[in-house]
């Protein structure tokens, strides 16, 4: 049987409790469980609307941990992408992430509209809305060959603020 989707991600962080607060406050995750492991803590979080046991695991490795050098000096993961249903929700999260000091970018990829942010450990993540398949035309496909600045107000006018992606 083929792989059907990503079920969950696990991140090593300096302080899992701090990171859990960030993901619950900023993105609306809820803590499903917590455990102590080898002197540190681990949190398992569920995304809003998810039916998974957990979508994100956070494992504490301590304040002494160096920042990730993935992409700069080492191989490693660049980011995780969390999808939202509407441009209204993407816009709301832009405000939340900006107020949290976490937003680092916003891009129009043609077929998707994306915000980029960093968690308390500097690990980057994406929050994105996908253009519904029935609205993907030649212009959207052409736009997906390059990255442009994101104008959420313009995209709401084009697709509708509450259109499900």
SS3 26: helix
pLDDT given at position 127: 97
Q: Give the predicted TM-score (pTM) of the model.
A: 0.94
Distance, C-alpha 133 to centroid of its chain = 21
Give the tens place of pLDDT for each residue, 58-82. Answer: 999 999 999 999 999 999 999 999 9
The torsion defined by the Cα of 137, 141, 143 and 149, in degrees rounded to 10, comes to 90
Name the residue with tokens 């917590």: 34
The residues of the chain scoring below 50 in pLDDT are none
Q: What is the mean pLDDT of the chain?
A: 95
How many Å apart are CA 130 and CA 90, to the nearest integer? 11
Structure tokens at 93: 């999260």
Structure tokens at 49: 């609307």
């Amino acid at each position: 049987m083929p792989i059907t989707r990503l079920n969950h991600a696990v991140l090593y962080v300096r302080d899992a409790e701090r990171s859990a607060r960030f993901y619950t406050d900023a993105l609306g995750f809820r803590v499903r469980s917590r455990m102590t492991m080898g002197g540190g803590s681990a949190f398992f979080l569920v995304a809003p609307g998810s039916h998974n046991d957990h979508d994100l695991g956070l494992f504490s490795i301590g304040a002494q941990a160096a920042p990730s050098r993935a992409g700069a000096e080492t191989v490693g993961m660049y980011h995780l992408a969390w999808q939202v249903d509407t441009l209204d929700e993407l816009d709301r999260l832009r405000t939340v992430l900006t107020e949290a000091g976490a937003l680092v970018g916003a891009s129009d990829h043609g077929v998707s509209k994306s915000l980029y942010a960093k968690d308390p450990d500097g690990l980057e993540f994406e929050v994105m809305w996908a253009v519904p398949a029935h609205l993907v035309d030649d212009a959207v496909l052409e736009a997906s060959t390059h990255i442009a600045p994101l104008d959420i107000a313009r995209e709401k006018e084009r697709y509708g603020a509450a259109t499900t992606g």
